[in-house]
Structure 1
Amino acid sequence: MKTKTILSLCAIAAIALACATNPFTGKKTIAIIPNSQILPMAFQQYDQFLAENKVVKGTTDANRINNIGQKIAAASERYLTANGYAGYLKDYAWEYNLVEDDAVNAWCMPGGKIVFYTGIMPIAQSDGGVAAIMGHEVAHALANHGQQRMSAGQIQQLGAAAGNIALANDSENQEMFNQYYGVGTQLGLMLPFSRNHESEADKIGLTLMAMAGYEPLAAADLWRRMKANSGGGAPPEFMSTHPSSDTRINNITAWANEARAKARKYGVTSFKK
């Protein structure tokens, strides 16, 4: 058996065996790199980031982020436990920080390490806006999107290596392969993969914010403000890592009733904007 065939079979076997389950969708996801490796690295990077940036403490916004983050985390725990995933969060170490930066952004590292930049707070505006952002970022962590992105990146690299091995004696076609493989996999695989994660995090986040007592449609209002803030400067959706603001607004509007219905199953009957 040729070396390239052996490598291909080993790669396929490794990918097939390296799977996890999304606790919200029940779908299998790629998990080539285990969380036992990812979480310690993420925690270390988070601590380093905080040490190198100005963390805002004790202000109304800083306290708001911490309080809402705790409510979203509690909703996550409740949902997971009720749906057969007790102990799912045992290795998480929730932390919510506001960082002085004009960027309109927030993010969550694997394991529940969350940062809001001060630049996003005027657009968040209300508790509901903060809860929408928080729910979305927490959803990324709970669905292991970071793990999946790292795993997909490895698969992309593996495909490039396999192509080069297969074309080792054909320099002309090897050059053409390398020229088109990166663009093709980026537009056809990696970007759609990322957009799907963003939409999935939006949907999961709606459930979490509703369970924490916040109105899901506040997320649609948030994206209207985000759209206005962008001034229409976003790239075409097919070239972006994120769905367009209009796509997100339409999806959130369609999903809001379902999110409220799920929250009511847990005794939540009022939703704050």
Structure 2
Amino acid sequence: MRKTFFLTAAALLTACATAPTGRTQLMIVSDAEMSRMGAAAFDQIKSEGKVANDPGRERYVRCIADALIAELPAPWRDQPWEVALMADDSANAFALPGGKVGVNTGLLRVATTPDQVAAVVGHELGHVVSKHGAERMSQQMAAQGAMAAAAVAGAASGNDNAQALALLGIGATVGVLLPYSRLHESEADELGQRYMAAAGFDPRAAATLWENMQANAGDSRPPALLSTHPDPTRRAERLAARAPSLMPVYEEARAAGRAPQCRL
């Protein structure tokens, strides 16, 4: 049994992919499987009656999403995408494998310009292009496999390893899964800002958006170590620092006629 777990772990180490930023990823779950799960999740959300009946704002978010999708690398820009406005007061949006985008009505109270909305939607599209969902699932599968291997090893030695397993679980969460999630957020920020500039949205608006988000959040954030998102102040600073290098991309897009006319 122990040999089986070690062989499984060795197999996991060979399941590698490369993120758009050049980082090596553990990737066990296939694109087709992720697309099926994304489509199923989106259908469930719609079946629960969460789609807003607001044609004007739906056209607005679809205009923004379509402009960003046109700037994605292949094959993502070539697949059909479904965009929906969700009746949800939280300031959020999401994109799912399989070509699904949802924008909450609550986001439009915090993201007050098309450029700011584009910063959020571009960020979410960055998660999909980077296959962060599949990577997270792969990390969790690997962490669960390590815990199972530890359980077998402890049982074979006759030791009571409940406490060790608990510590291993905590270590996997704080030491691996959450930091990777923060890394994913930073990668999605970088890619989303690139996409918005290439689509003709002002990349400087990404920093403003996160300043708005921080003001909207108040004191509700968890400690930075246990948060899956980077600190909003540092996040806004990084986005602001990156924006000047993207201004030529933005200006070239505008000169080429990529100036999305997305209005409420």
TM superposition score normalised by structure 2:
0.90
Structure 1 stretches lacking a partner, 5+ long = 81-85
Q: Does the Cα contact within 8 Å between 1:43 and 1:113 map onto a contact in 2?
A: yes
Specify the alignment match of 1:168 in structure 2: 155
Q: Does the Cα contact within 8 Å between 2:21 and 2:187 map onto a contact in 1?
A: no
Q: Offset of 1:230 from its aligned partner? A: 0.8
CA RMSD, 1 decimal: 2.1
1:7 and 2:5 equivalent? yes
Tell me how far apart the structure 1 counterparts of residues 150 and 206 of structure 2 sit (CA, whole Å): 43
Specify the alignment match of 2:90 in structure 1: 103
Q: Offset of 1:198 from its aligned partner? A: 0.3
Q: Using the TM superposition, name which of 127-136 and 165-174 deviates more.
A: 165-174
Specify the alignment match of 1:242 in structure 2: 229
Instruction: Work out which structure has the larger RCO, using CA pairs closer than 8 Å and 6 or more positions apart in sequence.
Output: 2
Structure 2 stretches lacking a partner, 5+ long = none
Q: Offset of 1:6 from its aligned partner? A: 4.0
Tell me how far apart the structure 2 counterparts of residues 88 and 18 of structure 1 sit (CA, whole Å): 22
Summarize the alignment of residues 25-174 of structure 1 with structure 2, pairs less than 5 Å apart.
Answer: 25-76=21-72, 80=73, 86-87=74-75, 92-170=79-157, 172-174=159-161
1:17 and 2:3 equivalent? no
Match of 1:201 among 176, 188, 192: 188
Q: Does the Cα contact within 8 Å between 1:210 and 1:271 map onto a contact in 2?
A: no
Q: Using the TM superposition, name which of 44-53 and 209-218 deviates more.
A: 44-53
Q: Offset of 1:173 from its aligned partner? A: 4.5
Percent of aligned pairs sharing the same letter? 34
Give the residue type in structure 1 aligned to 2:175.
G
Superposed CA deviations along residues 84-107 of structure 1, whole A, max 9, x for unmatched, are xx44555x4311111111122211
Specify the alignment match of 1:184 in structure 2: 171
Superposed CA deviations along residues 124-153 of structure 1, whole A, max 9, x for unmatched, are 111011100110011111110111011111
Tell me how far apart the structure 2 counterparts of residues 96 and 170 of structure 1 sit (CA, whole Å): 54
Tell me how far apart the structure 2 counterparts of residues 271 and 74 of structure 1 sit (CA, whole Å): 13
Q: Offset of 1:260 from its aligned partner? A: 2.8
Label 1:261 to 1:173 Cα distance change in 2 as closer, same or farther (>3 A): farther
Q: Offset of 1:10 from its aligned partner? A: 3.1
Tell me how far apart the structure 2 counterparts of residues 267 and 55 of structure 1 sit (CA, whole Å): 32
Superposed CA deviations along residues 194-246 of structure 1, whole A, max 9, x for unmatched, are 00000100010000000010111111111111111111221111111111111
Instruction: Look up the SS of the partner of 2:95 in the other structure.
Output: strand
Q: Does the Cα contact within 8 Å between 1:93 and 1:112 map onto a contact in 2?
A: yes
Q: Does the Cα contact within 8 Å between 1:237 and 1:243 map onto a contact in 2?
A: yes
Question: How many pairs align?
Answer: 259
Tell me how far apart the structure 1 counterparts of residues 246 and 201 of structure 2 sit (CA, whole Å): 10
Q: Offset of 1:26 from its aligned partner? A: 2.9
Tell me how far apart the structure 2 counterparts of residues 143 and 30 of structure 1 sit (CA, whole Å): 12
Tell me how far apart the structure 2 counterparts of residues 263 and 173 of structure 1 sit (CA, whole Å): 60
Q: Offset of 1:175 from its aligned partner? A: 1.2
Structure 1 stretches of at least 4 aligned residues deviating more than 6 Å after TM superposition: 270-273
